[in-house]
Amino acid sequence: MTRIKLYNTRSRQIEEIIPENPDGILRIYCCGPTVYNYAHIGNFRTFLLQDVLRRLLIATGYSVKFVRNLTDVDDKTIRGAQKENISLQNFTEKWTHIFHRDCEELNILDADVEPKAAGHIGEQIAMIETLIRKKHAYIAPDGSVYFRLSSFPSYGKLSRIDLGKLTTQSENSSGQANLADEYDRDSVQDFALWKAYKPEDGDVFWKSPWGKGRPGWHIECSAMSVKYLGETIDIHGGGIDLCFPHHENEIAQTECATGNPFVRHWFHSEHLQVEGQKMSKSLGNLFTLADLKNRGYAPETVRYALISGHYRQILNFTLSGLDAAQSALNKLKIKIKNLHKNSEFTGNEDEIFSSKNITYRHFNGAIEALENDLNIPKCLGEIFSVLNGDATGGELFLEELYFLCFILGIEKFIFSKNRDRESVEIPEDIAELAARRWEAKRNKNFAESDRLRQSLSEKGWNVVDHREAYDLYQQ
């Protein structure tokens, strides 16, 4: 088995990935989305990099159990359901469905287990009870339960945060910046494990030994990761913004409850910027996959662009970068197709999932780049440098390429035959509509071009724009 090396946020060193459990199964937990809105490309950058890591592990012979949760009860989901006047469950199911559809389009492998917070209230209450029993948590007069930070001296070691500089610590990702002011606390840094019921929670509450209420956000990951992966896991992933306080809190809760180390290897991916700026609602640059598809970019282009930077560096996402991603993908497809002509090769995913560990002869530079701290940009450079040389193809050559495309998650686009543009005949009325839309877009008449795109879509055709031309695909 190949050994993968990866930077560990905890030790600040690049370390080998070795499953701890004697069964050899590598246990991975990743913090999933809050299902209250479209996930944006910053979220997807993280999920895609986790997907590439998982694919790399599978394709190099590891057995992996991959758990990614869904946060379906917090301030944002409750507010969203109330606004639409539907039940929390109906609301979060709708957004879960949209998230799954986006993941499928981006070719993100399904998690082995995808637990939902609202489906694991009992496990969360049980963990909170243990923490209270062990004096790591206390009940406030209103019936909320807090983690007692002073009971866990190693708090802050992952993010190396200076606790002395902290004045408040709120559940920042649940959207309440000043939660600290609203709750009774022994000290300002303690965080909520259980939130007592408030009238604004409406019909969302569960019974607990401390009265009705709902779990705090952090406890779900601790409870569900212990349930599905055991007390110690091999890899825990998430965006760097989750490192503090969410992951610090996960460590505190889990280690105090179980008495064992929680995570052996922390895998954090860096932020995403859009056109050189921070992503924010006010700047209107929180792109979703749907936004980019509306601008004519195919999901595989979005995937390629989002994975093409090193995971430990900030990625500056730009529309011209997307154009470049599109042309790189097309170049790759054409080059491989030309090599394909002289070969009987057909890609086979079953071989990858049966842990066939191939030896790389032509593309050893590309696979080594991935094995050494998931260096995707270097891997892509190596692939192109081999293909730009005097590549002759052949079955083994194509097998290596197929495995690499699988790891990058672009195998369906590169090796699929039914999406071959030349082989599809385009009816005259469709071609005519598409030409009118292109003309409208070039004249910056976006309302008209959107209308025509919609009518093409209703007739079963999708259009993908490039800088100087467009392609039509049958749905």
Residue 250 C-beta: closest distance to Zn ion, Å: 6
Residue 217 C-beta: closest distance to Zn ion, Å: 8
Which of the residues 385 through 404 are near Zn ion (CB under 5 A)?
A: none
Compare residues 52 and 117 and give the one whose CB is closer to Zn ion: 117
- What is the DSSP secondary-structure string of 80-112? HHHHHTS-HHHHHHHHHHHHHHHHHHTTPPPPS
For position 251 contacting Zn ion by CB under 5 A, the verdict is no
Report phi then psi at 283, rounded to 5: -85, -10
CB 17 within 8 A of CB 233: no
For position 106 contacting Zn ion by CB under 5 A, the verdict is no
Residue type at 224 in one-letter notation: M
Q: CA-to-CA distance for 46 and 403, rounded, in angstroms?
A: 22
Q: Which stretch, 60-68, 93-101, 219-227, 433-441, contacts Zn ion (CB under 5 A)?
A: 219-227
Neighbouring CB atoms inside 10 A of 165's CB total 6
For position 193 contacting Zn ion by CB under 5 A, the verdict is no
User: CA 131, 135, 137, 142 torsion: positive or negative?
Assistant: positive
Compare residues 224 and 463 and give the one whose CB is closer to Zn ion: 224
Q: Which stretch, 213-221, 251-259, 283-291, 407-415, contacts Zn ion (CB under 5 A)?
A: 213-221
Q: Which stretch, 56-64, 87-95, 215-223, 288-296, contacts Zn ion (CB under 5 A)?
A: 215-223
Which of the residues 12 through 51 are near Zn ion (CB under 5 A)?
A: 31
For position 223 contacting Zn ion by CB under 5 A, the verdict is no
Residue 6 C-beta: closest distance to Zn ion, Å: 19
Residues that contact Zn ion, how many (by CB under 5 A): 2
The whole-angstrom distance between residue 427's C-alpha and the CA centroid of its chain comes to 38
Q: Per DSSP, what are the bridge partners of residue 145? A: 139, 194
For position 221 contacting Zn ion by CB under 5 A, the verdict is yes
Residue 110 C-beta: closest distance to Zn ion, Å: 19
Angle value at C-alpha 469, between 468 and 475, nearest 5 degrees: 150
Tell how strand 213-215 and strand 191-196 pair up: antiparallel
Neighbouring CB atoms inside 10 A of 393's CB total 18
For position 158 contacting Zn ion by CB under 5 A, the verdict is no
Counting every residue written for the chain, the total comes to 475
Give the residues lining the site for Zn ion (CB under 5 A).
Answer: 31, 221
